[in-house]
Structure 1
Amino acid sequence: MTVHNDTVEAAATTPELEQPYAVLGLKDDEYQRIREILGRRPTDAELTVYSVMWSEHCSYKSSKTHLRYFGKTITEEMSSKLLAGIGENAGVVDIGDGNAVTFRVESHNHPSYVEPYQGAATGVGGIVRDIMAMGARPIAVMDQLRFGPADAPDTTRVLPGVVHGIGGYGNSLGLPNIGGETVFDDSYAGNPLVNALCVGTLKVEDLKLAFASGTGNKVMLFGSRTGLDGIGGVSVLASDTFEDGAERKLPAVQVGDPFAEKMLIECCLDLYHAGVVVGIQDLGGAGLACATSELAAAGDGGMRVNLDAVPLRNDTMTAAEILASESQERMCAVVAPENVEKFLEICNRWEVTVAEIGEVTDETDRLVITHGGEIVLDAPPSTIADEAPVYERPYARPSWQDELQAEKGVEKPADLRRALLDMVASPALCSRDFITNQYDRYVRGNTVQAKHADAGVLRIDETSGRGVAVSADCSGRYTKLDPHAGVRLALAEAYRNVVVTGATPVAITNCLNFGSPENPDVMWQFREAVHGLADGAVEMGIPVSGGNVSFYNQTGDEPILPTPVVGVLGVIDDVAAAIGHTGGATGEPETLIVLGDTEEEFGGSIWQQVSGGGLSGLPPRVDLADEMKLAEFFASDAAVAAAHDVSEGGLFQAVFEMLKDSRKGITLDLSGVHEDHFTALLSESASRVVVATATDHADAVIARAAELGIPAAAIGTTDDSGEIRVGETVLTVAELVDAWSATLPDLFGHAVGANSVVE
């Protein structure tokens, strides 16, 4: 079938032709700027490429002015730890002995609301390819999920599909899911957040970057064929009316094939091992438009691409559609001519579709794309990939912030026993086993800690036992109360979760989820969060290795809670020495000790949420120097048998989670924690950890903490009673486990995927 394209020649002779640029998301001034760059009106293909590459998702045009603060604040010492940092597909850290680790987290929020299974599944696929593009083998995934109220009808639709999509794709890839977070809040109704994280390993010398270099080198597209899925608004260019193009309107959410991606992973690793790849880029958001323009813009010449060579699933596709398609499981590589035969051989061995679609030219900063024998795009790739408009959006502290931060007091329960049961059974704190049991945690045999752990711990070197620990955290409630403090609390918790395993934090990543950047309140929240995270990274001496921004997360005019997810990666020399989280696991009596100060801090707390107190006050105070003292404590030879951070839900939740697996009991002595038992049990003060140690080591542990300036108080010794006793209040661990375990199965147990359990 003949495909009719709008060509460069035609564009030059029809300057006044009206084009649907507004439907593609371009503003009037942006469209005029494109015309100025080209010296004429754009072709359909050019309009498509500029529209997707200048979108908020690809260009960061509203966030870039604030994100530059990361570059302004990072020190030379911090940046020296990175092999690749902000601006690359993923951050890469040298961890010694010739080994490197890469990790990144990215959002797939809106697609996961439209089509929960495929939206979440392709979110996993996309982040895995980001890791592959660095020359690494993906070794694990994690997920950060946010949904509306747990009992809301639409949450029943979205959550099971998202979880099934994450498990279905990740399990099929053979990647362990080593942790994550699931949060419920009214603000996420209609706009769930699905943030996917992936970790990969590589040898330092195997690092790959996205650039097209070397005149005459070939551009190779390999992986799945290109189809009409994931195109979205570009379908406007495919027909005169929506009715005429109805048969072309496949879902705007991409469709994933994890088995094709598994073949692609192994194919890429073989290609890297064979040394036949000069530069590489994955095809995710904006598809071939992004891959070709970014490779060309980062190179030392130009690029010429022939779309006739692109393997298609639909031979009626226009140039605009081929360029904008977000079909999954595709990569684009630059290969020297003498290595093309070997490249093809490896792709064929793995049954991966491959095609030579172009070559690097000596036309500096020129991208030329043809289709049907005619030129459909002729533009400087730097203007596509790097020169999108940068907006200085207005921002201002919201007029309602003072009222929100006003302390309204905390209502203490008349029945403490009932309150503690309600807390552990609340959707905020209850067991996530219903979700995580649908994921394979132990495939590949290198998972050291995952289920119920503070951080996921993986072995990466079977000879030395070296491993990594990864955690990602955020409380949107804290961040709405104070965006600057909220993101620092997220950093502090992720950092603390890593150090309690015995690992040393080495890098930070982030996924910044916010409402509309056109709202000055939201932009103020965003700016405060960026500055809080960047400054916190400098204080801790750990580089931010990369990140992601997701804007326009709102339902109508109501934005989500500002949700800057912060991930921290740490290195542990020998995973055999990793500290576990179960108290009483040895079977012998153990003393539990609280490290850190406890204050009356309930702003944004889970107690405030569960008791119906809404959201008000200030979040807990956080001093990152206190977190670093904890890191020094766990890096020393303190005789710690187990450790668990104290965060949302407070001390009682931490103690319960430490004892639930061993079913040990304890009589809590809170006199050294806080004079008020309610505050001691449920306050969410930061920089606190509960450690378990053999009773004859307790004094030494407390003394070591004192040497580092860390307050420490013994709160009791484990026993065989199976009860947690606080004064007159007695709860059995068994009844707490029953209450904690039942909530999500009761809400979602009937849903599709509920029985897809991987033990």
Structure 2
Amino acid sequence: MTTHRELDTTDAAAKTPDQAQPWDELGLKEHEYTRIRDILGRRPTNSELAMYSVMWSEHCSYKSSKAHLRQFGQKAPASDALLVGMGENAGVVDIGNGLAVTFKVESHNHPSYVEPYQGAATGVGGIVRDILAMGARPVAVMDPLRFGPMDADDTKRVLPGVVAGVGGYGNCLGLPNIGGEVVFDPSYAANPLVNALCVGVMRHEDIHLASASGVGNKVVLFGARTGGDGIGGASILASESFDDSKSSKRPSVQVGDPFMEKVLIECCLELFERRLVDGIQDLGAAGISCATSELASNGDGGMHVDLETVLLRDPTLTPGEILMSESQERMMGVVTPENLDAFLAVTGKWDVETAVIGEVTGTGRLVIDWHGETIVDVDPRTVAHEGPVYERPYARPAWQDELQAASPSALPRPSTGAELRDTLLRMLASPNLASKAWVTDQYDRYVLGNTVLAQPEDAGVLRLDESSGLGVAVSTDGNGRYTKLDPYTGAQLALAEAYRNVATTGARPLAVTDCLNFGSPEDPAVMWQFAEAVRGLADACQVLGTPVTGGNVSLYNQTGEAAILPTPVVGVLGVLDDVGRRIPQGFREPGQVIYLLGETGDEFGGSEWAWVTHGHLGGMPPSVDLDAERELAEILVNASRDGLVDAAHDVSDGGVAQALAEAVLRHGTGARVWVPDGVDPFVFLFSESQARAIVSVPRSEEVRFTDMCTARRFGHQRIGVVDDGGVLDVQNVLAVGVDELRNAHESTLPAVFDA
């Protein structure tokens, strides 16, 4: 980049066409650089090159995934609830009573490996600002996390820092963390997945969009000052695989200030309430480059900016660095001249530094000046929306058939009561099935007073309307092992489990957000996994009637040739008319009968049992029956509405055994359970067949409940009764005291991370 004395203007660029430029150091390919020159009809200035490099990065432009993501729109189911779909900062859905909810999940994977605390913290801050930019008050966050082996030295470095960053930032903002996941697998070593979700609420009339319209309207930058932290951070860092030989792949990670963000949130909400903002955009990846180009592109198409008016923390920054900086806690607003004084009065009241840096024009160009000289003159659409779109080659890998043929059916299975008991305790204590309280206890789950259910429940539930009890349930899920075995099915299973988790609380599933985490798109095998997963998710959303409202794609999650497990993380949001009727997961009342809903098959491909006891990954994942998932959800939602069920817990990883153990541990009850006639106890306890849940039913409601299941022709079996004996007793098979279950379940993470 140039200093002020060597300013590279558009005039200079036109006169020096052969001047060498560092396009490769900024992550551009040679043909991309050539295309930029063709678009401009000259070489780009250094500032223009900086803008194109960050906006055309994989992280910002979705250039390898756009061709496939179109399916989410092409196959979108009809939805009366959808108010704002894909393409904005976040999707928005109508939940009734004039209220709308916006929610979205995004990734901050690579930065969180380089600097775990700040990478995770700024991931939370960024997704919160996305929600804020829609005009909503952020009301909760969630964090799906994935790490390498639990006992690996690097995991011991990364996980505590990430958890502290997620908790530290969210707790300081005063936002409850109501759910998420913590998963361990060797494939995530050196490539942790730090996905963050935020939920916000607003009135319908308060929805704001990211556009700059109205010639003469002012462009205002407010919040924290712009510094050198995060230059090329998320945008460049998340757009190529790690390579220790290239220092350029490890640029600085953004530094967050949650207290500044808290003030910024309240300031923005007052600006919205007083109708002082016409358009707004948060500044995250690509910073000012993104905010100016997207606002201009989405509006009348023209904007003029005087870049020297940007308030700086570091006065030595060059124009290109200012444009690329990803400093946090910043927003850009479009304000009419007549509202400007009132706008400045509000930001002054909140002590939020503000600078008028430009105005909307009718030229169709984004023009940026530096001390009176033009350093950027571009069509903003070419920066923000018309970047390269790649049809990456993809092919089913040669090893896929062999992987699927390696069925776990030949693995030795426990058969005696003692063996089954030992298997239950071993799995309950395994890293992926053990209690995650060591993590979640570092998060405030109940701040603001509207959290109705939170971890370790199947879904987080929030009250959004005090008078009616109207609320939402949100869950995120994903299983990389399932997806590696069959990417199409694995993505559908991720959706199915999140959908089921929401329904088990009694909420009606409404909409989807997704974070698609994969390896390098330049690997045809990885690209095939991605294409199949998107196809599977789009097809399943169509069947379940849940449109994708937005999300994120995170590629290049690999080191060298080693890619992560393909990991589509799917978030589902559902609506509860009255959160007072929500269904918790834990058994509470002795004497209630326990039913298993759904059909159990011999399905162990990709299962926790195969992985924990044999280190085996192979075969086919559990089959998907989306019609059965819909039927199960209807039963659970109706059971909640009519008060037929006292507790419900989905059956997924670890099977019925895991679900029963978690249900008795929740409140320290016991349960007497029997294996249905003709069923192998091992299959009954550990199969991971889908579209299943366990419920406890008051005896007074048993007939009504079973009549409902029978009328819907949905499988249901009475498998036990809740008791107060403090023992999980699978009769004639095994018995384990709750204290022994709790010790196995809760000691795993503290033993590693407290040490």
Corresponding residue number in structure 2 for 1:388: 387
- The offset of 1:225, in angstroms, is 0.1
Q: In structure 2, give the amino acid aligned to 1:362.
A: G
For residue 200 of structure 1, report the CA deviation from its aligned partner: 0.2
SS where residue 602 of structure 1 aligns? Answer: coil
CA distance in 2, matches of 1:251, 1:70: 33
Q: Work out whether 1:702 is the aligned partner of 2:706.
A: yes
Partners in 2 of 1:695 and 1:3 — Cα distance?
Answer: 83
Three-state SS of the structure 2 residue aligned to 1:685 is coil
What CA distance in whole angstroms lies between the structure 1 residues aligned with 2:69 and 2:413?
42
Q: Note closer, same or farther for the CA distance 1:233–1:702 as it changes in structure 2 (3 Å cut).
A: closer
Work out whether residues 5 and 318 of structure 1, in 8 Å CA contact, stay in contact via their aligned partners in 2: no
Report matched runs for 1:59-458 at 5 Å.
59-75=61-77, 77-78=78-79, 80-232=80-232, 252-364=252-364, 366-406=365-405, 407-409=407-409, 410-413=411-414, 415-458=419-462
The equivalent of 1:643 in structure 2 is 648
Matched, 1:34 2:36: yes
Structure 1 residue 2: deviation in Å? 5.3
CA contact (8 A) 2:72 2:547 kept: no
Deviation at 1:698, TM superposition (A): 2.7
Q: 1:241 maps to which residue?
A: none
SS in 2 for 1:102: strand
Distance 2:703 2:520 in 1: 53
Deviation at 1:695, TM superposition (A): 2.8
How far, CA to CA, are the matches of 1:693 and 1:235 in structure 2?
A: 51
| Cα 1:439–1:508 shift into 2, 3 Å | same
Specify every segment of 5 or more residues in structure 2 that has no aligned partner in the other structure, as ranges.
237-247
Q: Give me the TM-score of the superposition, normalised by structure 1.
A: 0.95
- Alignment-derived partner of residue 596 in structure 1: 598
The C-alpha deviation readout for 1:231-259, integer Å capped at 9, x for no partner, is 148999xxxxxxxxxxx999610000000
Preserved CA contact (<8 Å) 2:605 2:617: yes
Letter in 1 for 2:67: T
Per the TM alignment, residue 699 of structure 1 is displaced from its structure 2 partner at its CA by 3.6
Give matches, 1:545-560, under 5 Å.
Answer: 545-560=549-564
How far off its partner does 1:638 sit? 5.8
> Unpaired segments of 5 or more residues in structure 1?
237-247, 751-759
Letter aligned with residue 545 of structure 1? T
Q: CA deviation at 1:667?
A: 2.3
The answer to whether the Cα contact below 8 Å between 1:211 and 1:297 also exists between their aligned partners in 2 is yes
Aligned pairs, number: 733
Choose which of 502, 511, 517 in structure 1 pairs with 2:515.
511
Give the secondary structure class of the aligned counterpart of 1:512: strand
Q: 2:619 aligns with which of 617, 620, 634?
A: 617
* Conserved 8 A contact 2:510-2:573: yes
Change in 2 beyond 3 A, CA 1:326/1:186:
same
Deviation at 1:703, TM superposition (A): 2.4
Shift of the alpha carbon at 1:577? 0.9
User: Could you tell me whether the CA contact under 8 Å between 2:408 and 2:605 is conserved in 1?
Assistant: no
Q: How does 1:661-672 map to 2 (within 5 A)?
A: 661-671=666-676
> Would you identify which runs of 4 or more consecutive aligned residues in structure 1 move more than 4 Å?
233-236, 248-251
Letter matched to residue 50 of structure 2? T
Other-structure match for 1:48: 50
Residues 4 and 348 (structure 1), Cα distance of their counterparts in 2 relative to 1, 3 Å cut: farther
Paired residues of 2:408 and 2:610 also in contact (CA < 8 A): no
The question of whether the paired residues in 2 share the 8 Å contact of 1:180 and 1:471 is answered with yes
Counterpart amino acid of residue 413 in structure 1? P
1:512, 1:550 within 8 Å by CA — same for their partners in 2? Answer: yes
Q: Which residue of 2 aligns with 1:628?
A: 630
Q: Could you report, residue by residue, the CA deviation over 1:109-166 in whole angstroms, capped at 9, with x for unpaired residues?
A: 0000000000000000000000000000000000000000001110000000000000
- How many Å separate the matches in 2 of 1:456 and 1:536? 23
* Inter-partner Cα distance in structure 2 for 1:232 and 1:531: 31
* Deviation readout 1:38-85 (Å, 9 max, x if unpaired): 11111110000001000100000000001111111124x23x422111
Deviation for aligned residue 1:441: 0.3
Query: 1:421 Cα deviation (Å)?
Result: 0.6
SS in 2 for 1:611: helix
In percent, how many aligned pairs have the same letter? 60
User: Are 1:15 and 2:17 an aligned pair?
Assistant: yes
Partner of 1:179, secondary structure, is strand
Cα distance in 2 for residues equivalent to 1:461 and 1:61: 41
Classify the secondary structure of the residue corresponding to 2:666.
coil
Distance in 2, matches of 1:122 and 1:370, equals: 30
1:635 CA drift (Å): 2.5
Q: CA deviation at 1:7?
A: 1.1
Aligned twin of 2:584: 580
Deviation at 1:4, TM superposition (A): 3.8
- Alignment deviations for residues 408-445 of structure 1 (CA, whole Å, 9 cap, x no partner): 42321261111111000000100000000000000000
8 Å contact from structure 1 (residues 118, 254) kept in 2: yes
1:700 Cα shift?
3.1
Q: Larger deviation: 127-136 or 703-712?
A: 703-712
Q: CA distance change for structure 1 residues 564 and 285 in 2, over 3 Å: closer, same or farther? A: same
Q: Residues 420 and 512 of structure 1: is their aligned pair in 2 closer, same or farther, counting only changes over 3 Å?
A: same
Residue identity in the other structure for 1:490: A
Q: One-letter code of the match for 1:344?
A: L
- Structure 1 residues 235 and 472 mapped into 2: Cα distance closer, same or farther (>3 Å)? closer
Give yes or no for contact 1:24–1:233 (8 Å, CA) kept in 2. no
Q: Residues of 2 paired with 1:730 and 1:82: CA distance?
A: 49
CA distance 1:728–1:525, change in 2 (3 Å): closer
Correspondences of 1:645-724 after superposition (within 5 Å): 645-671=650-676, 675-724=679-728
SS of residue in 2 equivalent to 1:216: coil
Secondary structure at 2:159 match in 1: helix
SS in 2 for 1:327: coil
What residue identity is the alignment partner of 1:385? A
Q: CA deviation at 1:3?
A: 5.4
Q: Distance in 2 between matches of 1:272 and 1:82?
A: 22
Describe the shift of the 1:235–1:705 C-alpha distance in structure 2 as closer, same or farther (beyond 3 A): closer
Tell me how far apart the structure 1 counterparts of residues 671 and 94 of structure 2 sit (CA, whole Å): 43
Alpha-carbon distance in structure 1 between the residues aligned to 2:285 and 2:97: 35
- Kept after mapping to 2: 8 A contact 1:235/1:321: no
**Structure 1 residue 723, shift from structure 2 partner:** 1.2
CA distance in 2, matches of 1:681, 1:437: 29
CA contact (8 A) 1:228 1:250 kept: no
| In 2, Cα distance between equivalents of 1:265 and 1:408 | 51
Contact 1:4 1:318 in 2 (8 A): no
1:111 to 1:249, Cα distance in 2 relative to 1, 3 A: closer
Counterparts of 2:381 and 2:456, CA distance in 1: 46
Q: CA deviation at 1:662?
A: 2.5
Pick closer, same or farther for the CA change 1:493–1:550 going to 2, 3 Å.
same
1: distance between equivalents of 2:341 and 2:250? 36
Moved more, 103-112 or 719-728: 719-728
Residue 490 (structure 1) aligned to one of 494, 504, 508: 494
Letter in 2 for 1:400: W
1:478 aligns with 2:477: no
Q: By how many angstroms is 1:708 displaced?
A: 1.1
Deviation at 1:720, TM superposition (A): 2.1
Q: Deviations over 1:255-288 (max 9, x none)?
A: 0000000000000000000101111000000000
Separation (CA, whole Å) in 1 of partners of 2:15 and 2:395: 47
SS in 1 for 2:614: coil
Aligned partner letter, 1:749: D
Q: Which amino acid aligns with 1:340?
A: L
Residue type at the aligned position of 1:43: T
Q: Give deviations 1:555-575, integer Å, cap 9, x for gaps.
A: 210110000000000010111
Q: What RMSD over aligned residues (CA atoms) do the two structures have, in Å?
A: 1.6
Relative to structure 1, the CA distance from residue 572 to residue 431 in structure 2 (aligned partners, 3 Å threshold; closer, same or farther) is same
